[in-house]
A and B are shown apart, each in its own frame.
Chain A
Amino acid sequence: MAKVMGKPVALNGDRAVAEAMRQMNPDVVAAYPITPQTEIVMRFSEFVANGEVDTEFIPVESEHAAMSACVGACAAGGRAQTATSGAGLAFMWEVLWVASGTRLPIVMHMVNRSFSAPLNILCDHSDSMGARDAGWVQLYDETVQEAYDNAIQSVRIAEHPDVMLPTLHALDGFILGHNLERLELLPDEAVKQFIGTYKPMYSLLDLDRPVTYGPMDYHDYFFEHKRQQVAAMERALEVVPLIGEEYGRLTGRYYGLMEGYRLEDAELATVVLGSTVGTTRVVVDELRDQGVKAGLLKIRCFRPFPAAMVAEALGDKKAIAVLDRSLSFGGQGNPLFFEVCTALFSHGFSPKVVNYVYGLGGRDTVPAQIRQVYHELIKIDREGVTGPTLRYLGVRE
């Protein structure tokens, strides 16, 4: 596929996702409004009302119904998508597992929001990190452009015959969802061609081959089915960059599982995902100007986690800080930290690694905080003492 000219526009993340959905023209969308995702469902409803899509929209009475309807719709042999945030994802919880265990390539646009209580509608990653074990492929968006690009690639990843797993991409609520950024939109036709047509392996509407979906699966088969899901996730490690490469040839924007930023010769590194990657890039540049060998590893694909690549990229660093925007109460750290440490240790590396929790409930994460992280890494490296593993950025103690 030859590179096509994108159309520069200014959109917020929600609108960019809605635009991607319009261009993908899914057969069924079932969704329920929740801040900060609401603008996606509002905008998409307008597309439906104006006849700009062929989609049948199901304005469900809850998120649980949204995911349930997506399971039915996808099992009926077409493309099904939804969008949600925070509590909405929590309400879908049970059915997230059904979707992945049934191997349905549903796509979800996930606008990150903290979990209650106390009630808070702003961004953190408690929701999608909480669902990390649900068997969904998870991509994280750094910018509005990436929210748009990942939305489109999600369909290809989910439907890839080697994968056949539901896929979500997560964009930071408000920070990306509600902020206007410049991005390039593909022509409608290019998106249509890129995602192609969906050919279901098994459809409930195929009367010649009646299938039983969702049977009772006891001890004699359940384990093997779960093992197959694991294998599919492993294959997704190959598929995600393949699709990212193909998308790059089309747009000039290439995507892998992760991205190092000034990382190769760095001695001090942070590991970040989501919109805070952008803030961290700025600080890395600033520190490099001051002669500090700072680098950044951005994780784009959190599930499956590219452990070998992460270990390879970080193994030689003197000190590493992993930034988490969610909590695992009572744990030895938090979700991204667990992954990074396990990747390093299991590949024979044991650099000094600390874990920072930042930005909970929409708390601003500013360059000064990221600067503080690198300065503490400098201190850890200089003194040779790791100090406390768990640290908190920008909180009043």
Chain B
Amino acid sequence: MAINLKEMSKEQDLIAPGHRLCAGCAETIVVRQVLHAVGSPVVVASPTGCLEVASTPYPYTSWRVPWIHNAFENVSSTLAGIETMYRSLVKQGKIEDKGIKFVAFAGDGATYDIGLQFLSGAIERGHKFLYVCLNNEGYMNTGIQRSSATPMGTWTTTSPVGAVIPGKRENRKDVTAIIAAHDIPYVAQAAPHAWRDLMTKAQKAIAADGPSFINVLIPCQRGWRFPPEETIVLSKLAADTCIWPLYEVVDGEWKLNYRPSPKKPIIDWLQSQGRFQHLLTPQNEHVVDALQQEVDRQWSRLLERCKAPS
């Protein structure tokens, strides 16, 4: 099904306005894009995090679809339980098969860190759902703490810039590749500026015969320290500097979806956000160099995996 903005603009958003997410937050942009692409009927689950607290302050809810929050770490198991109940009730003829789809929207803390075991377990068991990681590279809901999705050199409140330590010392881990290593039918990385790419990916993911995973970069104006109107600009810059490449892994085949020309230097990315300002000093030049090397190394490896010319 081709993405047709004109047609989609006539559809009702499945998440209603009036939620309490920050101005400039990319989360609802992505949730709306993904849910338009997935379409009804759909059941959504979210772990504890920005999206959950901002969309469901009791007695209000922004969700026009059935939605559940259980706890921080266990959205995968929760959704696995729902999906399994659906199969059970349909199999027994207790309810009609209406082709319900199941989607999780979870932050990077809930995905990379506290919930990784649950996600790994659920997709190994083959539960048919789409898991969307809303990756803003840190624990933003609790006030900007580092996660294992936070890039090296980043200032956060638990990787502060001190007299002897210049921000986060470790490289982030590559959860997209970890999920791809589970050999599930569909895995991708995406970003909100590339809306057609993201929505196409959501469609492919939900059509896949098994679990699917999309890791979406979520520029966070509060945590990253940039003006709220620049969300989409930053999203594109992440792809252009190759710190957030767009690609997909379909049935084990890696495919590059976007190749920047020219590939911008990482310093452009660092200059765009307050969380990196401490790196723009002579004494931290080595951190910038190390980060550029890391981005280049990851990019070369990705090109190799995608069998793309270097």
Contact = CB atoms under 8 A, between A and B. Distances in A.
Contact of A61 (B53, B88, B118): B118
Interface string A178-222: 000000000000000000000000001111001111111110010
Given A72-B70, A98-B71, A204-B82, A60 B77 contact: yes
Interface stretch (A73-81, A330-338, A368-376): A73-81
Contact of A78 (B77, B85, B122): B85
A95 B118 contact: no
Interface in A61-101: 61-62, 64-66, 68-78, 80, 94-95, 98
A323 B70 CA distance: 37
B85 A210 contact: no
B70 A98 contact: yes
A39 to B, nearest CB: 22
Given A27-B85, A55-B88, A69-B77, A205 B69 contact: no
B97 to A, nearest CB: 11
A34 interface: no
Interface string B56-92: 1111010111111111011011111111111111011
Contacts of A68: 70-71, 74, 77-78, 81, 118
B125 interface: yes
Contact of A215 (B43, B45, B58, B88): B58
Nearest to B74: A68
Contacts of A215: 56-58, 61, 69
Interface string A374-397: 000000000000000000000000
A65 B87 CA distance: 18
B82 A65 contact: no
B52 to A, nearest CB: 7
B41 interface: yes
A131 interface: no
Interface in B115-139: 117-118, 120-122, 124-125
Interface in A242-280: none
**Interface band, chain A:** 35 or more
B84 A28 contact: yes
B100 interface: yes
A287 interface: no
A56 interface: yes
A210 B65 CA distance: 5
A59 B121 CA distance: 9
A204 B46 CA distance: 14
Contact of B85 (A54, A80, A212, A216): A80
A206 B86 CA distance: 11
A387 to B, nearest CB: 46
Given A72-B80, A205-B86, A216-B53, A210 B91 contact: no
Given A61-B124, A68-B74, A210 B66 contact: yes
A62 B61 contact: no
Nearest to A97: B71
A54 B91 contact: yes
Nearest to A25: B92
A73 B85 contact: yes
B94 interface: yes
B95 interface: yes
5 shortest A-B CB distances, which residue pairs? A72-B81, A61-B121, A69-B81, A215-B56, A68-B77
Interface of B: 40-41, 43, 45, 52-53, 56-59, 61, 63-71, 73-74, 76-89, 91-92, 94-95, 98, 100, 117-118, 120-122, 124-125
Interface of A: 27-28, 30, 54-56, 58-62, 64-66, 68-78, 80, 94-95, 98, 204-207, 210-218, 221
10 contacts: A27-B85, A30-B81, A56-B91, A65-B77, A71-B81, A75-B68, A94-B71, A205-B43, A212-B61, A213-B69
